[in-house]
Amino acid sequence: MAENEYVPLFETRQVKGRILFRWNAVIRIPFIHRLSQRFGKELPGIDIFVCTANPLLEPPSMVVNTVLSMMAYDYPPEKLSVYLSDDGGSNLTFYAMLEAANFSKTWLPFCKKFKVEPMSPEAYFRTASEPLNVQEWPSVKRLYEEMKMRIETTTKLNQIPEHIYKQHYKGFREWNFVTSKLDHQTILQILIDGRDTNAVDIEGNPLPTLVYLAREKRPQYHHHFKAGAMNALIRTSSKISNGPIILNVDCDMYSNNSESIKYSLCVFMDEEKGDEFGYVQFPQSFDNLTKNDIYGCSFRVIQKLEVHGLDANGGPCFIGTGCFHRREALCGKKYEKNFRFDLKKLNNTKVNERASLLEETCKVLASCTFEHNTTWGKEMGLIYGFPAEDIVTGLSVQCRGWKSMFLDPERDGFLGVAPITLLQLLVQHKRWTEGHLQVFLSKYCPLLYGYKKIPLKLRLAYCAYNLWAANCLATLYYVVVPCLCLLKGITLFPKISSPWVLPFAYVAFSHHAYSLGEFLWCGGTFLGWCNDQRMWLFKRTTSYLFASFETILKLLGYSQLAFVITTKVADEDISKRYDQEMIEFGVASPMFDILATLAILNLLGSFGAIKKVTMHADKGFKVLDQFGLQILLCLVLVTINLPVYQALFFRMDKGKMPSSVTYKSIIFALLACTLAVY
């Protein structure tokens, strides 16, 4: 190979697809050994943003594990800076970060010495067996368990230990001026200053920078939820470390692959194509899924097939976590074809100010008034005004000329916590689909906003996700109308004896057979596919329906933008039932009212059909011939809803359907049947 010959840092492989956002699907393969050979230690600074908002729903002990896993990357620590945005403004989370800063002095050299994977202490000690002849293993585990116990005890008592308070009085005194989590000044603390020669681990190696930020909040100012927190982090980090590459993760998404940074740099630092990319998205994976994925949370087919098609057509969307951004692209810069970025020269800005002075200087950047009369939230940073701020931000980056890439290494880059109750899942998907629909109905509609900016195939692919919520209408029709018409004696489908039944049978069979084949090919199980189909129905008849109504009310001015945090904690009984793959209901909710009513409605329709067939023997075959497809559809829906019937009438544990839901659903279903018959 000639000295100046170009050798790519990643390879693109073509795969086949069958629908729009799978056309020309590609798989990217980075070569991190080439990255090391070519650049050595001339690597750019990396700023990592971790966002949390509520210490009750997102326990500080979990946040600590995420932060420690980010600090332990296989990357020069002096070029690594980790920022925690605490939108809950909690001194409990701040205390947990102090514990993390201290434990990192032991954890980081341990990870480096023994090549620990995953780098989250909780996940590692839970899954790894104690190696032979490693004396440090039990001592490090004991130190971690002691730290975890202190954090959980402090959180439970809601009181900082007196000796810790006195030792870190400078930090904790900030909470003397905090009125509430929605009314407080900016709290910014550099817990580990990577520029300080004394910031070293137990073996004398430098530590990454660690920063705690609780941005200013006042009741009279809108704080814009996670998008506002991210934008505050972008500004403050630009003065402290100014890494040209930004990684953002949710507080429950710990790092599972120590080389994820290097994978992304193979894209950004490729001499021929690297300058085109604004962000690199990793898949959102989970470490708490059951064997058959009872709630269908894995996004298995989407991430293994569909997103690769988006990649080939201009790039995947930004999904809010596990994403590496080019700072310039995130800050509103447009892509210029002939301009080249030299990431080797864009290392961390060396600020000569002392940490205490730097803290005071940066506080104004996270104030409520800083963004007033600026383009932040409009053209710079994450876009405001949508529950799915990630989707619209990624779209705006692509419309400024940048491409994006999807990397799915053999070892997952990040692992998070999936919902373990049905209501958590439905609420989470309501927020996602509501955000997508609002984007479609806004000026950021991909068809219009992306016109002549991104490829048509990519715009149409975005719309397939933006219109998820609208699918509730067709689904509700198939769930409600056939069973009511069956009771009334109205035929909706061709007779079984008619040749026109063949197209219906072909479409139904081929679609589900192909869907099952895809799911199994992507590593799922048959029961997992059944659960996925069940959740598909549950989400479309509840989450998508509520998302559609909320969007309409917002457009009419009767509803305000809200951001619902998915809880990451559950009691022991709920966790036990989740491990046994029992669907958790447990609480009353309008969503459960709809689910139960639809389930009973189809059960009554099936009973009515069976009665017609069995009680009129002379007309039984005629009834089957005339209503065969409707009866089959009702029976399929009854089969899908078996866990709902079990929760309504047979389960005795706390995860059963509440009695109020049972009574209301029976009344609603009987009323609907009565109106349909008469």
Residue 201 assigned as binding residue: no
Which of 178, 421, 402, 87 is CA-nearest to residue 274?
A: 402
Catalytic residue among 390, 412, 532, 593: 390
Residue 250 assigned as binding residue: yes
Which of 84, 235, 91, 79 is CA-nearest to residue 165?
A: 91
Q: With H, G, I as helix, E, B as strand and everything else as coil, classify residue 584.
A: coil
Q: Please state the φ and ψ torsions of residue 380, each to the nearest 5 degrees.
A: -110, 140
Contact 395, 237 (CB under 8 A): no
Find the DSSP H helices in 72-184. Answer: 91-114, 121-127, 136-157, 162-167, 169-172
Catalytic residue among 87, 252, 270, 408: 87
- CA torsion through residues 322, 326, 328, 329, sign: negative
Residue 389 assigned as binding residue: no
d(CA 408, CA 418): 19
Contact 61, 151 (CB under 8 A): yes
The pair of three-digit structure tokens given for residue 340, joined into one six-digit string: 């080249």
Which of 593, 583, 554, 574 is CA-nearest to residue 431?
A: 554
Query: How many other C-beta atoms can be found within 10 angstroms of the C-beta atom of residue 254?
Result: 29
196 is catalytic: no
Contact 192, 206 (CB under 8 A): no
Which of 364, 397, 322 is CA-nearest to residue 238?
A: 364
DSSP 210: E
d(CA 461, CA 366): 36
Residues, the chain: 678
Which of 274, 282, 321, 351 is CA-nearest to residue 81?
A: 351
Q: What is the largest CA-CA distance in the chain?
A: 94
Which of 634, 612, 636 is CA-nearest to residue 624?
A: 612
390 is catalytic: yes
Which of 213, 258, 267, 248 is CA-nearest to residue 9?
A: 267
Residue 226 assigned as binding residue: yes
Which of 135, 150, 59 is CA-nearest to residue 103?
A: 150
Query: How many other C-beta atoms can be found within 10 angstroms of the C-beta atom of residue 185?
Result: 19
Q: 184: left (phi > 0), else alpha (psi -120 to 50), else beta?
A: beta
> 90-118: buried (b, 16+ CB within 10 Å) or exposed (e) per residue?
bbbbbbbbbbbbebbbbbbbbbbeeebbb
Which of 90, 377, 327, 93 is CA-nearest to residue 225?
A: 377
DSSP lists the bridge partners of residue 415 as 254, 285
Q: Which residues line the annotated binding site for UDP-alpha-D-glucose? A: 58, 87
Active site (catalytic) residues: 87, 390
Binding-site members for Mn(2+) are: 226, 250
Query: Which residues are documented as binding site?
Result: 58, 87, 226, 250
